[in-house]
Structure 1
Amino acid sequence: MAFDPSIHAVRRQRFLEHLGEAAAVIPAAPLATHHADCEWPFRQDSDFFYLTGFDEPDAVALLLPHRPEGERFVLFVQPKDPAAEVWTGFRWGTEGAVERYGADMAYPLDQLPARLPEFLAGAEAIAFRVGRHPAVEPLVLSTWGRQLDSYSRSGEAAMGLVAPTPILHRLRLRKEPHELERMRQACGISAEAHELARQMTRPGMNEAEVQAAIEAHFRARGARGPAYGSIVAGGDNACVLHYTANTAPLQDGDLLLIDAGCSLEDYYNGDITRTFPVNGCFSGEQRELYALVLEAQEAAVETVQPQGTAEAVHATALRVLVEGLVELGLLAGDPDGIIERGDYRHLYMHRTGHWLGLDVHDVGAYRLGEQPATLEPGMVLTVEPGLYVSDRLAVPEGQPAIEARWKGIGIRIEDDVAVTDEGHEVLTAAALKSVAAMERQAT
């Protein structure tokens, strides 16, 4: 993918328009060590990347609407250093920050303490996310503190700290056409990996073998790798929502739940869950529960419409699941009462989806005060109902005990769905999910 600085320039301009006269300080992510002096693979802060496209650690962006044109986007970055680059790789440095990334000015990071006061001077407020950036926060607070100390002489000081994240996250919630295209690509690669996994799976394999094949496909197709810890859960392991051990053998007669998606070089993600029989054939109980989850999921997907709500998507899936579980004898009573009391939660204990974008659980409000947020074109959410039948949670009083024939069945079906002007687009449609497709076997 060719880097296009104009995409980030447009985002910065929109952000500046919303800031008013507040000066924003947006830090990049630092490197993180996991043992001794070895570092985790770098993952940029999503807000910083959204505004700059700059993918190096320990940088700081200043967005300064109170300054003149040509002084409103300032980057502090690690300088060019051949000795350091021998060990840790290429750096763009201050020249690259200007020439490639469009900064009006760029300085070495070690100049931030000295230069920050001059850039924040005259701003009505300072937009900074407190509690997240321990290396930068003391500099911001001390700069503001000095402004307050000198107010009686200068008559100038920022009125307070404000959070930039509500503005940024509202902007990020509605995806641009460029973002939607990148998410289509991430979802397409993720769907290919799921199809590959289903075709290769056989009894006697290990969960780890399937995980390795999925993640190898991500890398082979040019993705960074998995967007999150891949879940490859056979049998009863599928009843653990965030199971990531992925070390158990796959048993004949069990289901395999795979929740996996890739992340692209620019961090856009896919997030797909599929569940299928290890041996290529559902048992009677497995088929009944799978068909029920599929019905709930397809009904919920149809609920994704402009002016709808994520709350309605969840409610639709929940209603189908509860009514179906009553028919199967796994729940008893009036569906309205079961839903109101939460008597289904030992079988379905999570919501039906989340926003998706630069982050897998992407930013954006689900509620605005007492009202659920309205779905608008450009928003992308997952739709992922499931059922998990085990002894882990107590059966609510008045509900039937779970017969042994149902236990150990865990099923989730998840697609990524974009809201469009006309309705919705299922970005992950290439990953099959019908009962017949799940029972196909490789020849």
Structure 2
Amino acid sequence: MVIDPAEFQQRRSRFIEQLGGVAAVIPASPLVTHHADVEHAFRQNSDFWYLTGFDEPGAVALFLPHRPENPFVLFVQPKEPTAEVWNGFRWGCEGAVERFGADLAHPLAELPERLGAYLQGAEGIAFRVGRHLELEPLVLKAWGQQLDRAPRSGQAALGLVAPCPILHDLRLRKTPAELVRLREAARISAEAHELARRVTRPGLGERQVQAVIEQHFLEQGARGPAYGSIVAGGDNACVLHYTSNSGTLMGGELLLIDAGCSLDDYYNGDITRTYPINGRFSPEQRDLYELVLAAQLAAIERVAPGADAEQVHDTAVRVLVEGLLELGLLSGSVEQVIEQGAYRHLYMHRTGHWLGLDVHDVGAYRLGEHPVPLEVGMVLTVEPGLYISDRLPVPEGQPAIDPRWKGIGIRIEDDVAVTAQGHEVLTAAALKAVAAMER
């Protein structure tokens, strides 16, 4: 366990404090069948992990501010030698208390009979409905029994609420310990991109480059890729979520790689780099690459306390539109093109997302009509791109795309932490200057 147990305790304390008198039920992820009787590799629920650090499937955590003598209760799979021979080590109830700081721990099989008593006396129940189909009936039954007894007892949880607003707001602001882990994920991910660029050559398979990247993740002790690695040569790069990685790299084309590792404690890197397969940009490739890089650098400069993600995006869009107008790929005024969205056949996604325990991490971008301001500890990606293809129709009034531009897909992405001084580019070790992309 890399994050100190005291950090998990602090997270639980902040969560319980914000719950007020509401009890929360937070389940772990279950095992998911891949085919027949074989499960996918286990991946813990990020909310459950954030509060517990407990990495076993099927567990359930209770957070009980109305029971200050034992506010953190875990239900876990008990120690069982036969099961552990087949499926590996379990911490059991004793480990849940001694290693993971639970005030009380019970075998998971006892949850149906104990849940109601633990929730009794809470002002409400925080539980995410619609996601945990085996647990949900137990929570609803416990709540229903309270409501049935309310006329006589005078006590019942007043409502069922989602824990997400509280929990995801906490997760949005990374602690110094979390930033250490994100820097480590960024380091490993950046090294993998540099290795991939060095081995890239015409005739190599996209999947061979993927293997170089993901081998480095594993060699460095990461859990593996944080998401399906995108290794897209040529026109494949114009498919935003291309993951088949089955093509052959061709001289004269670009290679777009969007890949990052996930650490054992689930913190992630997320980097995209694009470069010429044969080591030299064509004039069109260079023009577009320099434009995307200029947009990204300008957008990164906007990252600072008090700014917001929409300003980061708008900055990138303006630079891209100005450049596309100069290149003749768009026509009209900058303001008109932006207002009409007449650039979206060439740039159709947002410029970034939150990053943390999830690659597309939790946390609101807007609160009603107002964008969420950036604060110290927030981490986001900055990833403008251009994708020149026939897949989307050219908007009315915009010029047809000259064939010399088609099949060029470029994205440049870095992970950026908000600091008191402005920002820190966590992934700066993955080079992106024009000169560094050529050889």
Q: Which whole-Å CA distance do the structure 2 matches of 1:84 and 1:250 have between them?
A: 47
Give the deviation of 1:154 after TM superposition.
Answer: 1.2
Partner SS for 2:428: coil
Q: State the partner residue of 1:255.
A: 254
1:17 aligns with 2:17: yes
User: For residue 383 of structure 2, what is the aligned residue in structure 1?
Assistant: 384
Structure 2 CA distance, aligned partners of 1:4 and 1:355?
Answer: 23
Matches of 1:174 and 1:111, distance apart in 2: 35
* Secondary structure of 1:150's aligned partner: helix
Matches within 5 A, 1:10-409: 10-69=10-69, 71-409=70-408
| TM-aligned CA deviation for residue 174 of structure 1 | 0.4
Q: 2:355, 2:380 within 8 Å by CA — same for their partners in 1? A: yes
What's the CA shift string for 1:293-329, capped at 9, x where partnerless? 0000000000001000000000000000000000000
- How many Å separate the matches in 1 of 2:150 and 2:62? 23
Contact 2:346 2:387 in 1 (8 A): yes
Q: TM-score normalized by structure 1?
A: 0.99
Q: Deviations over 1:117-172 (max 9, x none)?
A: 11000000001111111111100000000111111111111000011110000000
Q: Cα–Cα, structure 1 residues 78 and 161, in superposed 2: closer, same or farther, change >3 Å?
A: same
Alpha-carbon distance, 1:5 to partner: 1.3
Tell me the matched-pair count: 439
CA distance in 1, matches of 2:68, 2:77: 25
Amino acid at match of 1:207: E
| 1:166-211 deviation line (CA, Å, top 9, x unaligned) | 0000000000000000000000000000000000000000000000
Question: What's the CA shift for 1:68?
Answer: 2.7
* Separation in structure 2 between the aligned mates of residue 68 and residue 166 of structure 1, nearest angstrom: 23
The residue type equivalent to 1:153 in the other structure is R
Which letter does structure 2 place at the counterpart of 1:332?
Answer: S
CA–CA separation in structure 1 for the residues paired with 2:437 and 2:411: 13
AA in 2 matched with 1:253: G
Shift of 1:4: 2.2
What CA distance in whole angstroms lies between the structure 1 residues aligned with 2:203 and 2:109?
56
Contact 2:3 2:177 in 1 (8 A): no
- Aligned AA (1:215): E
Q: Relative to structure 1, is the Cα distance of residues 324 and 206 closer, same or farther in structure 2, using a 3 angstrom cutoff?
A: same
Give, in angstroms, the shift of residue 228 of structure 1: 0.2
4+ runs deviating over 6 angstroms: none
In 2: Cα distance, 1:131 partner to 1:417 partner: 33
CA offset digits 1:334-391 (Å, max 9, x no partner)? 0100000010000000000000000000000000100111000000000000000000
Identity of aligned residues (%): 74
Q: What SS does the aligned partner of 2:278 have? A: coil
Gaps of 5+ in 1: none
Q: Secondary structure of the residue that 1:299 maps to in structure 2?
A: helix
Q: Which segments of 5 or more consecutive residues in structure 2 lack a partner in the other structure?
A: none
Whichever residue aligns with residue 140 of structure 2, its letter is: L
Paired residue secondary structure (1:215): helix
3-state SS of 2:202 partner:
coil
Name the counterpart of 2:410: 411
